[in-house]
Copies of this chain bind each other. A is one copy, B any other.
Amino acid sequence: MKEKDCVRVFAPATSANFICGYDILGLALEDPGDEITLRKVDSPGIKITKITGDLGLLPLDPEKNTVSASIKMVLDHLRIKNIGLEIELFKKMPIGSGLGSSAASTIAGLFAINQLLGAPLTKQELLPFALKGEELACGHGHADNVAPSLLGGITLIHSYSPLHVINLPVPKKLCCSIIFPHVEVPTRAARKILKTQTELKNAVSQWGNIAGLVTGLFTEDYNLISSSLKDYIIEPTRSFLIPEFEEMRNIAIKSGALGFGISGSGPSVVAFTQGIEKAKEITKMLKQHLGKKSIESNGYSSAINTQGAVEL
């Protein structure tokens, strides 16, 4: 691929750790996500010229901004100096939502600079930089959001040393409804609440469900996917941090969701469905329910994005 003067890329939001997939599974959404435009300019240095969207905690200082930090990693690796770059960032999802907000920014940055330079690295080769980016942004180099945002689909983090990420098959009709209630559950606090020990019998049930879920994805068996989407380990500890969790579960399951649980480290929740119409219906009902309890929320209904980061 040839070098370019300007690229515009999209990196999708993600749901990691979903339901029974704590620390190993993640998936990419069609929408929302981060868009950036990256442009070569004559004067050396990285400049953020524009940020639109959720600016909440976004540092405008290029030294601290996730996107420019990611771009610098790739430039350092390729020993490229004195390049001039301008970034426009369109942040299309809320920060701290459990939708992999920082991961999408990291991936957008990495993917954009790689495309601008003519794709010297493969997507798989960009992954280690993404982990570093997550470590800078969240204090923990997890791959559960960056991997699906970069690669798309449903990703299995098989191991960290060596880093080994596998794309699982995506059943055609699998969709999800994601609700982000406007209450704060920072990732670090949600991690702290987890016990370091777990009951062996619960762990066995969990890995039975993970094996069932992976089998269901391969065989496109929605009943098996549904009966596997249960979390015996994380949900019992974390779900009480999320308002109306049990009520939302009841609504989703009664309305025909395949499964319901925590997305990321919360407070977002995810319901899986067969078909986008069902996802939209559930998103609407869950938002309405939270509304009645005076809890504002964002709601998303999406198929699984199988492309990951793309040039627009």
Contacts and interface: CB of A to CB of B under 8 A. Distances in A.
Interface of A: 22-25, 156-159, 164, 166, 168, 194-201, 203-215, 218, 224, 227-228, 233
A265 to B, nearest CB: 14
A24 B211 contact: yes
Contacts of A212: 156, 158-159, 166
Given A166-B215, A211-B24, A233 B158 contact: no
Contacts of A198: 197-200, 203
A210 to B, nearest CB: 5
B23 A224 contact: no
A206 B207 contact: yes
A206 B158 CA distance: 10
Contacts of A166: 212, 215, 224
A24 to B, nearest CB: 4
Contacts of A209: 158
16 contacts: A24-B204, A156-B208, A158-B208, A158-B224, A159-B208, A159-B212, A168-B215, A194-B200, A197-B198, A198-B199, A198-B203, A203-B203, A203-B207, A207-B210, A210-B210, A211-B214
Nearest to A166: B215
Nearest to A162: B227
